[in-house]
């Protein structure tokens, strides 16, 4: 059986067999080595291209600031694809499209310098590999999806003594979890941090339930919050490290979020990888897409899947199947079909989600009779990158120290409110566009990095953030009225001083905005989380439309519905993946 098919960090590599199916005139290049750059997700991506008179000999990415684990596959494989194809019409790497396009653009600039017909090179594509033979595997537990919930389930099932196979349709692991800021809500009752913050599991429960307009299943909410700290300790037992203390993540309502030492979601996957590399009977297959469940006598006993070359892969599960395929934030048709909360969720509204968040697992589960709940509950947040919709480039370090202003320089909402409240207010602003404003309390030197491993100095250099020694100078750079911006900051500072609620009802404060240099970053509304999905019980068993348990089928993570209600608290999604991923893995492993 294929073993250990992935490396989460810089070692994630796949083998490709690509061949050009058409070619322009490939003679007449000016032999030599050429350098060029293009803008990626986090800044410039620089390449070095070596050509002979008739061939692209070598492509190397020499410098970049892309996020580890998210961009690794593009950095390693796009140069290989270009050289093998001898052209620029090759496919981008799914889940790392922006980085892939930056590499293609930079290589195109270099090839133009070498005298190539770049437009002709863009027409050179790669033919698909020949279809591989059909395959058949058996394990105690089959997990569909290698995001946060799927790998939590896989590791737990293996710890319970089960053999495990994980399949993932994308060419890399991670799902939405690896794109997240890493904040995980959990209350360690009795700790100095919880006592100082006057936090408790009960408060976490109340805020989660009421924050979702009391639409969440109370038993599921209770399961989430009471098992959250156990999940943190479990992650630590796998080698994952968290920074000291807690903070308030956007829309989290309380300072109970734990921040991993490693950036974005990479810490989770490095911990899972280390476990998988060190243990037997747990295998992962990438670029394998689940198509349908195998059902015998009413019980789910396996999965029919398709390999990347179109071959059939049959997976038998002795004990059970865990569905962990995520939500449908990137499926515009499904968003529009189920949306009940927003005026419009068509392609004009970008998403923070990875490319594979298309709702496949929800459709599969519905086909075997699973009940879908609260599908209209789709979360937007006001923190999308104006170009991509992603969370990348968000300059905030925590809720307490920053404000939002519109294009006129005026505040317009409680910046510590629920995500739906903030997003609704943002849609009402000119251009549905805002600026995050903060100062050097969060960035004393400028070399500090945000939750996505980007330094403010680099963001300013790349034109993705702005810096001014005074508020007036900052206002001029971002095109807002200086008097309005100064008034907004002064009003905020007044309430920081006396900790009183302001005109928007804001009560979360820490430091005033009074230490230059000052910073601003642009943000727009973006689709972030689909709270609806497959109905489960507290054992993560999938429930049918008749109210019965579907034997052999379990689910965890964003593919499920009924936990978060109409609005998900910031920091609860990663908690969800760990808590219910572990429950699903254990339940499937123990089933017979």
Task: Read off the CATH number of the domain in which 548 is found.
Answer: 3.50.50.60
Domain range for residue 496? 383-526
**Which run of H or of E encompasses 584?**
helix 572-590
Query: 252 and 392 in one domain?
Result: no
194 and 249 housed in the same domain: yes
Q: Which residue has the higher pLDDT, 25 or 571?
A: 571
**At 179, is the pLDDT very low, low, confident or very high (cuts 50, 70, 90)?**
confident
Instruction: Answer with the one of 481, 500, 526 that is the final residue of a domain.
Output: 526
Q: Indicate the residue among 65, 88, 121 that finishes a domain.
A: 121
| SS3 of residue 472 by DSSP | helix
- Interhelix angle for 218-226 vs 572-590, to 10°? 100
pLDDT at 186: 98
Q: How many CB atoms lie within 10 A of CB 452?
A: 22
388 lies in the same domain as 502 = yes
Instruction: Please report whether residue 180 resides in a domain.
Output: yes
Q: Does residue 166 sit in the same domain as residue 303?
A: yes
- 8 Å CB contact between 538 and 446: no
Residues 485, 295 contacting (CB under 8 angstroms) = no
- Please name the residues in contact with 430: beta carbons below 8 A apart, sequence gap of 6 or more: 406, 407, 408
Are 560 and 374 in contact by the 8 Å Cβ rule? The answer is no
Q: How far lies 267's CA from each of 150, 186, 190, 231, in Å?
A: 15, 17, 26, 14
What single DSSP character describes residue 415? Answer: T
> Does the pLDDT at position 497 exceed 60?
yes
238: its two tokens: 């796998």
> How far apart are alpha carbons 384 and 406 in whole angstroms?
15
Same domain, 178 and 266: yes
Q: Return the structure tokens found at 286.
A: 């990438």
Rounded CA gap, 396 and 448, in Å? 12
Whether residue 291 is found in the same domain as residue 370: yes
Contact between residue 197 and residue 256 where contact means Cβ atoms under 8 Å apart: yes
Strand partners, 283: 165
Task: Tell me if 451 sits within 8 A of 397, measured CB to CB.
Answer: yes
Give the residue-averaged pLDDT of 370-375: 98
In a domain, 519, yes or no: yes
Which is catalytic among the residues 402, 418, 419, 582?
419
pTM: 0.87
**Within a domain: residue 126?**
no
Please measure the distance between the N-terminal and C-terminal CA atoms of the chain and give it in whole angstroms.
Answer: 23
Same domain, 516 and 564: no
Section 539-544 average pLDDT: 98
Give pLDDT, residue 589. 98
Distances in whole angstroms, Cα of residue 128 to Cα of each of 19, 120, 464: 8, 20, 37
- Band of pLDDT at residue 42, cut at 50, 70 and 90: confident
Please state the rounded mean pLDDT for residues 163-187.
94
Three-class DSSP category at 461: helix
Nearest CA to 291 out of 312, 272, 317 is that of 312
The predicted pLDDT at position 126 comes to 74
* C-alpha–C-alpha distance, residues 437 and 108, integer Å: 37
- Residues 521, 471: one domain? yes
Contacts of 445 (CB under 8 A, 6+ apart): none
Please state the rounded mean pLDDT for residues 93-99.
84
How many angstroms separate the CA atoms of 583 and 157, rounded? 9
Q: State the average pLDDT for the chain.
A: 92
Tally of CB atoms within 10 A around 447: 10
Q: In 3-state terms, what secondary structure has residue 47? A: strand
Q: Please check whether residues 367 and 427 belong to one and the same domain.
A: no
* Domain annotation covers residue 268: yes
Please count the helices (runs of H) and the strands (runs of E) in the chain: 16, 21
What is the model's pLDDT at position 5? Answer: 37
Q: If you count them, how many residues does the chain have?
A: 592
372 & 440 share domain = no
User: Has residue 24 been placed in a domain?
Assistant: no
**Lowest-pLDDT range of 127-131, 238-242, 485-489, 581-585:** 127-131
> In this structure, is residue 463 part of a structural domain?
yes
- Assess whether 490 and 402 both reside in one domain: yes
Mean pLDDT of 494-501: 94
- Mean pLDDT of all residues in 277-297: 97
* Cβ count near 292 (within 10 Å): 13
Per-residue pLDDT band at 11 (split at 50, 70, 90) = very low
Residue 27: the pLDDT is 58
Report whether pLDDT(288) > 80.
Answer: yes
DSSP assignment string, 151-215 = HHHHHHHHHTT--EEEEESSSSSBTTGGGS---EE---TTSHHHHHTT--HHHHHHHHHHHTTT-
CATH number, residue 439: 3.90.700.10
User: Can you tell me whether residue 295 is helix, strand or coil?
Assistant: strand
Give per-residue pLDDT as tens, 223-251. Answer: 999 999 999 999 999 999 999 999 999 99
Domain membership of residue 253 (yes or no) is: yes
Q: Taking 70 as the threshold, does the pLDDT of residue 379 lie above it? A: yes
Nearest to 93 by CA among 208, 35, 174: 174
Residue 19 sits at φ, ψ, to 5 deg, of: -140, 140
**Same structural domain for residues 205 and 323?**
yes
The pLDDT of residue 128 is: 60
What percentage of residues in the chain have a pLDDT greater than 70? 95
DSSP reduced 3-state for 475: helix
Q: Name the pLDDT band for 95 (thresholds 50, 70, 90).
A: confident
Confidence of residue 41 (pLDDT cuts 50, 70, 90): confident
pLDDT at 229: 98
Last residue of a domain, one of 121, 146, 162: 121
Residue 69 is part of a domain; what is its CATH number?
A: 3.90.1010.20
Is the pLDDT at 502 greater than 60, yes or no? Answer: yes
**pLDDT at residue 24 greater than cutoff 50:** no
Structure tokens at 247: 């903070």
The pLDDT of residue 10 is above 50: no
Residues paired with residue 541 on neighbouring β-strands, in sequence order: 554
For residue 9, tell me if it sits in a domain.
no
Which of 90, 34, 89 lies closest to 57 in space, CA to CA? 34
Number of domains the chain contains? 3
Asked if 479 and 500 count as a contact pair (C-beta separation under 8 A), the reply is no
Active site residue 419: yes
Share of the chain above pLDDT 90, in %: 86
Kindly report the number of other CB atoms within 10 A of residue 445's CB atom: 9
């Amino acid at each position: 059986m294929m073993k250990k098919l992935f490396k989460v960090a810089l070692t994630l590599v796949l083998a490709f067999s690509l061949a050009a199916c058409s070619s322009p005139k490939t003679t007449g290049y000016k032999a030599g080595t050429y350098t060029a750059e293009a803008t990626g997700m986090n800044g410039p991506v620089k390449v070095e291209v070596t050509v002979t008179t008739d061939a692209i000999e070598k492509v190397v990415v020499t410098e970049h600031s892309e996020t580890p684990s998210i961009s690794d596959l593009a950095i390693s494989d796009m140069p290989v694809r270009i050289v093998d194809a001898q052209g620029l019409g090759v496919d981008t790497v799914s889940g790392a499209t922006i980085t892939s396009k930056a590499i293609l653009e930079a290589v195109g600039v270099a090839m133009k310098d070498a005298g190539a017909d770049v437009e002709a090179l863009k027409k050179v594509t790669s033919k698909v590999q020949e279809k591989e033979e059909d395959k058949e595997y058996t394990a105690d537990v089959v997990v569909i999806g290698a995001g946060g919930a799927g790998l939590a389930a896989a590791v737990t099932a293996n710890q319970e003594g089960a053999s495990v196979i994980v399949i993932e349709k994308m060419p890399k692991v991670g799902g939405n979890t690896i794109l997240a800021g890493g904040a995980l809500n959990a209350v360690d009752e009795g700790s100095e941090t919880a006592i100082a913050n006057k936090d408790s599991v009960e408060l976490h429960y109340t805020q989660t339930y009421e924050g979702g307009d009391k639409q969440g299943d109370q038993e599921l909410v209770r399961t989430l919050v009471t098992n959250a700290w156990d999940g943190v300790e479990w992650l630590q037992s796998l080698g994952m490290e968290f920074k000291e203390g807690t903070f308030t993540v956007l829309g989290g309502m309380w300072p109970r979020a734990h921040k991993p030492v490693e950036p974005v979601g990479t810490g989770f996957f490095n911990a899972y990888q280390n476990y998988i590399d060190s243990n037997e009977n747990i295998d992962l297959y990438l670029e394998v897409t689940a198509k349908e469940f195998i059902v015998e006598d009413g019980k789910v006993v396996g999965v029919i899947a398709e390999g990347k070359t179109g071959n059939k892969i049959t997976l038998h599960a002795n004990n059970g199947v865990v569905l962990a395929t995520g939500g449908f934030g990137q499926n515009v048709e499904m968003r529009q079909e189920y949306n009940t909360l927003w005026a419009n969720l068509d392609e004009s509204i970008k998403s923070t989600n990875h490319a594979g968040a298309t709702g496949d697992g929800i459709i599969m589960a519905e086909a075997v009779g699973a009940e879908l709940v609260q599908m209209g509950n789709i979360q937007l947040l006001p923190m999308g990158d104006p170009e991509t919709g992603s969370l990348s480039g968000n300059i905030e370090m925590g809720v307490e120290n920053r404000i939002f202003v519109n294009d006129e320089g005026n505040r317009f909402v409680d910046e510590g409110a629920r995500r739906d409240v903030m997003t609704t207010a943002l849609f009402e602003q000119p251009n549905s566009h805002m600026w995050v404003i903060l100062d050097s309390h969060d960035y004393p030197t400028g070399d500090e990095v945000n939750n996505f491993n980007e330094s403010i100095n680099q963001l300013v250099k790349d034109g993705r953030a702005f810096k001014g020694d005074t508020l007036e100078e900052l206002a001029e750079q971002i095109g807002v009225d200086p008097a309005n911006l100064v008034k907004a900051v002064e009003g905020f500072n007044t309430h920081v001083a006396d900790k009183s609620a302001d005109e928007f009802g804001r009560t979360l404060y820490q430091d005033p905005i009074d230490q230059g240099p000052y910073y601003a970053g642009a943000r727009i509304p973006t689709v972030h989380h689909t709270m609806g999905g497959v109905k489960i019980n507290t054992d993560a068993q999938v429930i049918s439309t008749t109210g019965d348990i579907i034997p052999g089928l379990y689910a965890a993570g964003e593919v499920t519905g009924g936990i978060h209600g109409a609005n998900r608290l910031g920091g609860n999604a990663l908690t969800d993946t760990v808590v219910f991923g572990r429950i699903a893995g254990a339940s499937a492993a123990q089933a017979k």
